[in-house]
Amino acid sequence: MPQLLREFRAFLIQGNLIALAIAFVMAAAFGAVVAALVADLVTPIVAAIFGKPSFDDLSFTINGSEFRYGHFLNAVITFVSIAGAVFLFVLKPAQRLRLIPDAPDMKDCTHCTTEIPAAATRCPHCTAELA
């Protein structure tokens, strides 16, 4: 087998690429779940509150230029819904299961006031030794 094909095969089966492919497939599936959540639950709630299921038709015109702010509002509602779903259904459970490590305690360097990890004995920015 030529060297180029061996290198390509090694590239395809290395762990990072496989993990990335799995993450991509899971993200696509999660995107479908979130899209259904927004379309089937959030949009009816918005319709119940504001009387319209979609803001796409909202616009105004200045000097012949149409500003479709309703489309923007729909995008913002979708973004906030997706961010909320990721926060509630991915980030919080991962933190509870300790899959995501806690952020290290931080302190300010006494010489350059840069925020550094509390366990640091030397500042990585100004290289001052810390007590």
Could you read off the pLDDT tens digit of each residue along the chain, which spans 131 residues? 688 888 888 777 776 777 788 889 988 888 888 778 777 887 788 778 877 777 778 889 999 999 988 888 888 887 887 788 788 888 888 888 887 777 778 888 888 888 988 888 888 889 888 87
Strand-pair partners of 106: 117
Angle between helices 69-86 and 15-37 (to 10 degrees): 120
- Distance of alpha carbon 54 from alpha carbon 21, whole angstroms: 34
